[in-house]
């Protein structure tokens, strides 16, 4: 289009003729029926940009699950998770895409992908609670560092005294 910028669209439209509207601040893609397929913020300058990563496809996949087979999201997942997702009915696959879309918006694609992999490995399914907790933890990168070691000795002593009190 204009410059070293890449933008994604519905993978199901691969090989189809599309119309691109270049505007000052956005790029909109239309199919042969003049229906809007997607809109991207327009990138400027000579530095390459890329909106074709897996996370950029999640919104579209959440409403058009048929594009799953050709998606970068599918290609980026482990064989086990991919096989699980491939086995889902279209409605369930769309629900998983919405779960991943929402979590990627909160925690980023890398944390979401890792959380989905962990949830599936631990439970054999992908559920919102497992993914949300894992992604949040991954996104903040481990535990909170403390300046000094924590000593719960005084805390325990207080409870022992209260337990003895009549």
pLDDT of residue 43: 72
Query: Which one, of 106, 98, 102, lies nearest residue 139 by Cα?
Result: 106
Q: Residue 39: beta bridge partners?
A: 28
pLDDT of residue 20: 85
**Concatenated DSSP letters for the chain?**
--SSEEE---GGGTTS--EEEE-SSEEEEE-TTS-EEEEEEPP-SSS-EEE-SHHHHHHHHHH-GGGGGG-HHHHHS-HHHHHHHHTS-HHHHHHHHHHHHHHHHHH-HHHHHHHHHHHHHHHSS--HHHHHHHHHHHHHTSSPP-SS----HHHHHHHHHHHH--
Global confidence as pTM: 0.60
**Residue of higher predicted confidence among 105 and 162:** 105
Q: Write the pLDDT tens digit of every residue in 102-133.
A: 998 888 888 999 999 999 999 999 999 999 99
C-alpha to C-alpha distance for 108 and 115, rounded to whole angstroms: 11
What does the pLDDT average to over 62-69? Answer: 86
Q: Write the pLDDT tens digit of every residue in 74-112.
A: 999 999 999 999 999 999 999 999 999 999 888 888 899
CA end-to-end span of the chain: 80
Confidence bin at 150 (pLDDT 50/70/90) = low
Return mean pLDDT, the chain: 82
- pLDDT more than 90, % of the chain: 31
């Amino acid at each position: 289009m204009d410059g070293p910028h890449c933008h994604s669209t519905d993978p199901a439209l691969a090989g189809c003729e599309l119309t691109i509207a270049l505007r000052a601040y956005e790029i909109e893609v239309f199919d042969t029926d003049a229906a809007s397929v997607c809109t991207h913020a327009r990138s400027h300058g000579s530095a390459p940009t890329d909106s074709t990563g897996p996370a950029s496809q999640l919104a579209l996949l959440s409403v058009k699950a048929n594009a799953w087979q050709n998606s970068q999201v599918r290609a980026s997942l482990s064989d086990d998770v991919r096989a699980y997702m491939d086995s889902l009915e279209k409605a369930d696959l769309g629900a998983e895409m919405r779960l991943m879309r929402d979590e990627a918006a909160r925690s980023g694609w890398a944390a979401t992908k890792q959380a989905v992999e962990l949830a599936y490995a631990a439970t054999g399914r992908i559920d919102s609670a497992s993914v949300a907790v894992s992604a949040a933890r991954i996104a903040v990168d481990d535990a909170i560092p403390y300046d000094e070691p924590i000593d719960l000795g005084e805390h325990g002593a207080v409870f022992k005294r209260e337990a003895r009190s009549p």
